[in-house]
Amino acid sequence: MKRILSLSLGEVVLKGANRRYFIRRIIQNIESSLSDVGYIDIKPEMGKIQVEIDPAVEETAIKRLRFVFGIVYISPSWCFEKDWDRLKEETVNYIDGLLKEEPEFKTFKVVTKRSDKAFFKDSQEVNMDLGGVILDHFSDRLKVDVHDPDFYLYVDIKNEMYLYHKKIPTYGGLPLGTNGKGLLLLSGGIDSPVAGFLMAKRGVQVDALHFHSYPFTSPQAEEKVMNLAKILARYVVKMNVYSVNLLPIQKELNKHCPPEEMTVLSRRFMMRIANRLADQHGYKSVITGENLGQVASQTIDGLTVMNDVAERIVFRPLIGMDKVDIIRWAERIETYETSIQPYEDCCTVFLPKHPSLRPTVEDMEASEANLDIEALVDASMETLKITTIRAKEDR
């Protein structure tokens, strides 16, 4: 009998002619995730991927596989040859062990999926007959409840038989790397880590660009961002974090430009630096945590002047979310507690009392006419530091 982690696939099974490509990428990501844990075999099988493992590493393997996009459930299962008498025997053994672990269980329901239509019993017959076997052996402890049981006993009849009762939910989405590379503008706040996660969930391999204003911002503020990147790296396997000092640009803006334009002009320079990195490292998109109307710079007009200098598509996955929804995601992906640590970021430097709510491209270009834009970008790029974070260092 084999110990299997049965991985249920989500939307990738609907991909038609491209299905094999997506499943192959999920398998590659599983192999990468488990490379230092070990596994015996991996094989796709009708809407699932079956990973045979040593039971000794099961807990660690499940923890790793929770972060592999494209999987919607993980079911720790026992797998054995397709035989009715063997199924009855293993079911009794399974229930006996389960009741020792979960003595509070009092009701059950059998749920069978019979992919092998040549099997001599159909799904409903297996449900009824196997339920009878369970009642024969555990009538003093269990009864059937088809509406709200304490647990479901799942039986999959394929080339072999699978027996399990857990469906551990994961994140679904598309396999990492199937939608190119994206550069996340990562601040120390709540929003941008969630934005990076959501785009990774759509198959984008995400790296991060962080801006600081040292010494006006503290080393602790940059350490906070690196800790957020470590959490995000769980989902993207490896994350390159580009760190750039924005202070020289901010000083020039403060000296030559209207104070109410400070925030928007700073963000235009952030986008220009992102463009430079995208050219150098092959990023096809830029990702931001912007949310329409959340702060003064995130009006339609503010976003328009940002797009004006963008040379890549800009993904804003939070654009229509409520703050409560964003916080829920941050809590779910475990970035929230780090994000709310009270360290300042570069956006607080030279923050205007009354930021412009309706900036225009023409106004921004007029203010920037007094600046040597390329020289300022070059100077900031000279402060660039690159840190590579690998998921397994934080799992």
Provide the token pair at 285.
Answer: 């998109």
Q: Can you say which residues are annotated as belonging to the binding site?
A: 185-186, 210-211, 267, 289, 298
Q: Can you say which residues are annotated as belonging to the binding site for ATP?
A: 185-186, 210-211, 267, 289, 298
H, E, C per residue of the chain: CEEEEEEEECHHHHCHHHHHHHHHHHHHHHHHHCCCCCCCEEEECCCEEEEECCHHHHHHHHHHHCCCCCEEEEEEEEEECCCHHHHHHHHHHHHHHHHHHCCCCCEEEEEEEECCCCCCCCHHHHHHHHHHHHHHHHCCCCEECCCCCCEEEEEEECCCEEEECCCEECCCCECCCCCCEEEEECCCCCHHHHHHHHHHHECCEEEEEEEECCCCCCHHHHHHHHHHHHHHHHHHCEEEEEEEECHHHHHHHHHHCCHHHHHHHHHHHHHHHHHHHHHHHCCCEEECCCCCCCCHHHCHHHHHHHHCCCCCEEECCCCCCCHHHHHHHHHHCCCHHHHCCCCCCHHHCCCCCCCCCCCCHHHHHHHHCCCCHHHHHHHHHCCCEEEEEEHHHHC
Name every residue whose Cβ is closer than 8 Å to that of residue 271 and which is 6 or more positions away in sequence.
286, 306, 309, 310, 314
Asked if 367 and 249 count as a contact pair (C-beta separation under 8 A), the reply is no
